[in-house]
A and B are shown apart, each in its own frame.
Chain A
Amino acid sequence: MSWLIAGLFCMVAALIAGMVLMYILPLDFSERSPVQPLIFSHKLHAGANGIPCLYCHHHADKSPVAGIPALADCRACHLYISPEAPEIKKLMGYWDRQEPIAWARVNNLPDHAYFPHMMHIRAKIDCSICHGQVAAMERISRTASLKMGWCLDCHRQHKASIDCWTCHI
């Protein structure tokens, strides 16, 4: 009988531990760091090569959305830069098929929250405050909770408006 109880206890503990691990670790299938269709390294581009964020995400300072570079933009550089790398060949394959790359979205806000990138850039908020140390990430992963309390903390800290209508318009 005691064996049974101990076994049950162990099973429950293992289950809970597993669930906690799944929640914390940025595993492949978690929405925090999904597998992307192409192995694109921010560590290489933004870190090692020091390309500024706005070079590729060039709508961030004038539009609510930051924008992802068009396939033609990627290709423009990689026609000359390491064209023989396997992932670049994959990229060129997309271009040859005239098929856009369907990236998995990592940072997402619900539709009822209005988040304008350009206002935050204009207020000199560094990209890394919300997006984390992207320059050190091989695969992009979400570092912030993106919950309303997290928004409000920062708004309070910077004395930005915390009126409902600021974001929920």
Chain B
Amino acid sequence: MKRRTFLQLSGMTAAGALLAGCQSGNEKLIPYLVPPDEGVTPGRATYYASSCGSCPAGCGILVRVSEGRAKKIEGNPDHPVNRGRLCARGQAILQELYHPDRVQQPLKRSGPRRSGEFQKITWAEGLSLLTAKLKELQQGQASDGLALLTPQLSGSLAGLASGFMRSFDSPHLISHEFLAPDLLRQAERQSFGQPGLPFYDLAETRYLLSFGADFVESHHSPVQYGNAFGRMRQGRDTVRGHFTYVGGRMSLTAASADRWMPARPGSEGALALGMARLILAETLYDKGALAANGLRPEELLVRLKPYDLPQVAVLTGLPQESIAEVAREFANTRPSLAMAGGSVAYQTNGLESVRAVHLLNTLSGNLNRPGGVYPAASANGPENSFTELRALVNSMGAGRIKLALIKGDPVHSVPPASGFQQALDKVPFIVSFSQLIDDTALQADLILPDHAVLESWGDVLPQAGSRQAVYGLMQPVVTPLHDTRQFGDVLLAAASQMGGAMAAALPWKSCLELVKGTASQLGHKKEEDFEALWVELLRQGGLFETKTVQGKGYRWSSVAALPDPARPKFAGDRKQFPLHLQVYSSTAFSDGRSAPLPWLQQLPDPMSTVVWDSWIEINPKTAADLGISHGDLVEVTSPQGALRLAAVVYPGIRPDLVAIPLGQGHKGGGRYARERGVNPLTLLALVEGDEQQPAWNATMVRVTRVSQKGNLVTAEHPQGSYRSDLVGI
């Protein structure tokens, strides 16, 4: 700063302070007009136990409420999944409640689609519009013209949604999420013959090998696994568990590892099988476990012949010594544990790669053992919801869908390569249940705004967060702020207005009644003490000590073929598009659903420290070749589209890989998310992998420098030197 600027500024500051001193500094005390009912003492807080609805992990929360307003959220110490901890996204659901752009009452579209012009209507009008459309379909014998799209729901609400669609006689109920672990469920069924997801006993293991499973920031249950990881490292007196991470990008999880193995994208399965072959060849495997799973080592060794060390080293681009070293460490340390996750699963050979990791666990005897892997409770869900979505896209494109009910924001969170957005335009009537006018609601004809989580009744079966079945309750902690209604209540109201079979199939009057009905079947003895049990459940936030464990442990299925990952396929010509693109779950926004919350917008990314924006991570070598420096504006082109965003020169990524976080680039979603950053999903080409699973990390891109004005806002510079004295580079 120049001397003259400094003097000017300090003069202005002094003058400002003098002016401010003349005004009265007194705060205002604003009393109630009418004192609230008994139970509210100003200044005294009440705590409610409930469940977080930000992601399927379903952590337990305690909400501090004073003067009838929710003030602070912390983790529930009694909840077995999160044990009193809570992530930033859980803390931030307060802002979902108080968001200034919430839809405060039902809206009807008054302008053209996407114009954002809506007209306020009453709930009676809104519901009659909905039921009129439903009746029209029913009378026209076209009940399959109704589609219901939801995120992957759990508990009573999932039952309600499927009951609604079944009783209406429409097959088009789609529960799709971009980041949902569909492929992992399918791999589980193919290897072990049972559906679901694994529960990793991370806290007790001594050697952890993660193939692209970013369990600290995303994966199945980040708070549970983050905590378990801490106990694995520091919870035991004599052992500090060792951790090796395999994956091309250094995520927050990878940065916590002892060893990072940046394998070539799509080669992780080959690496797992290479390690398996070495373990078999050096007879380091668990003989008892192999026999118990009906596997013969000699046969396996013959089948795994193509995966000898030099070949695997070529495929993965990793040195032979380190592969052998990790394989030996993994086999010689008991208990050990191998995990597989997102970045591996989203390759064309994802399913077989994940199964290769299953084989590794089977060989080392890690199944159903402390410090190993167990089948998780409440992990059921669709195994390929994307094919269902594609079937729906076809129906919508052909004009067979007349009415689409949409919970969530698929217009933002489904890659446009699926054709979903175009096909949705052909649906004559779209109903959105969004709380904000998000990308989907912008296209809707009718918005029936849902309650915030903190205003809702519900129940949650936490996804893959424990071996024991856990039942989490969600209760309203404040009176609803606006004239909104719970999604479930709207379905129930519509069903009761439809009458007939629908009203008979869904007899509940409200979500409260529905949830109470589910809770009454939780294995209590006498009918008369249910009210007492219910109060106790509400006090605790659910039923945690169920002692019901998934009875059947893992056993390698006798019909399962040995995993055999094919060479990965990629969309885009290598010459034109030389770089692999990886999109990954943002720590703050997940798939983008938390982007409207300003606390999360200003939460610096743990690796790049970027706030309020999108960026692309590029290795320094690649960046130097392309003439890109930190903070430059670059254009990323894929066979599917092109985007402009800022570059972050990041040493923690392979030179042939670039990565963009998900979550930004909304067209709606309130003042904090709108028109901020870019949505990398628009770059993704549709590549089908094993069993028609979508391979979203199989797109190749080209990066070119545009200008030096990337307008990155970071909390610090990863390389240490600033180009200017301001924060923005």
B-binding residues in A (CB < 8 A): 29, 31, 34, 59, 62-65, 67-73, 95, 98-106, 108
Contacts and interface: CB of A to CB of B under 8 A. Distances in A.
Contacts of B720: none
Given A31-B24, A102-B29, A73 B35 contact: yes
Interface string B16-27: 000000101111
Given A59-B42, A63-B44, A105 B26 contact: yes
B35 A72 contact: yes
Nearest to B35: A70
B33 A98 contact: yes
Contact of A103 (B28, B32, B42): B28
9 contacts: A31-B24, A59-B42, A67-B31, A70-B34, A72-B35, A100-B30, A105-B29, A106-B26, A108-B27
Nearest to B32: A70
Given A34-B24, A72-B34, A63 B41 contact: yes
Contacts of A34: 24, 26
Given A72-B35, A73-B35, A101-B31, A65 B42 contact: yes
A71 B32 contact: yes
4 closest residue pairs by CB, A with B: A65-B43, A63-B43, A70-B32, A70-B35
Contacts of B26: 31, 34, 104-106, 108
A63 B42 contact: yes
Contacts of A101: 30-31
B386 to A, nearest CB: 50
Given A59-B43, A65-B42, A71 B24 contact: no
Contacts of A102: 28-30
Given A59-B43, A62-B41, A63-B41, A68 B31 contact: yes
Given A63-B42, A64-B44, A103 B29 contact: yes
B34 to A, nearest CB: 4
Contacts of A64: 43-44
Contact of A68 (B22, B24, B25, B29): B29
Nearest to A102: B28
A59 to B, nearest CB: 6
Categorize the interface residue count of chain B. Answer: 10 to 19
A100 B33 CA distance: 6
Nearest to A32: B26
- The secondary-structure label for the interface of chain A is loop
Given A65-B43, A72-B33, 11 more contacts: A29-B24, A65-B42, A70-B32, A71-B33, A72-B35, A100-B31, A100-B32, A103-B30, A104-B28, A105-B27, A108-B27
Contacts of B43: 59, 63-65, 67
A67 B42 contact: yes
Nearest to A106: B26
Given A59-B43, A62-B44, A65-B42, A70 B33 contact: yes
Interface in B1-54: 22, 24-35, 41-44
A45 to B, nearest CB: 15
Contacts of A29: 22, 24
A100 B34 CA distance: 9
A62 B40 CA distance: 11
Interface string B675-691: 00000000000000000
Contact of A59 (B25, B28, B41): B41
Contacts of A98: 33
Contact of A105 (B22, B28, B32): B28
A117 B32 CA distance: 19
B31 A69 contact: yes
A143 B475 CA distance: 46
A72 B22 CA distance: 34
Nearest to A99: B33
Contacts of A103: 28-31
B46 to A, nearest CB: 12
A65 B42 CA distance: 7
B26 to A, nearest CB: 4
B44 A70 contact: no
Contacts of A65: 42-43
A47 B33 CA distance: 25
A98 B26 CA distance: 23
Interface string B72-115: 00000000000000000000000000000000000000000000
B310 to A, nearest CB: 64
A19 to B, nearest CB: 12
A68 B271 CA distance: 70
Contacts of B35: 70, 72-73
A117 B34 CA distance: 23
B68 to A, nearest CB: 14
A92 B44 CA distance: 30
A71 B22 CA distance: 31
Contacts of B22: 29
Contacts of B33: 70-72, 95, 98-100
A100 B26 CA distance: 17
A96 B32 CA distance: 14
Contacts of B44: 62-64
A29 B25 CA distance: 9
Nearest to A101: B31
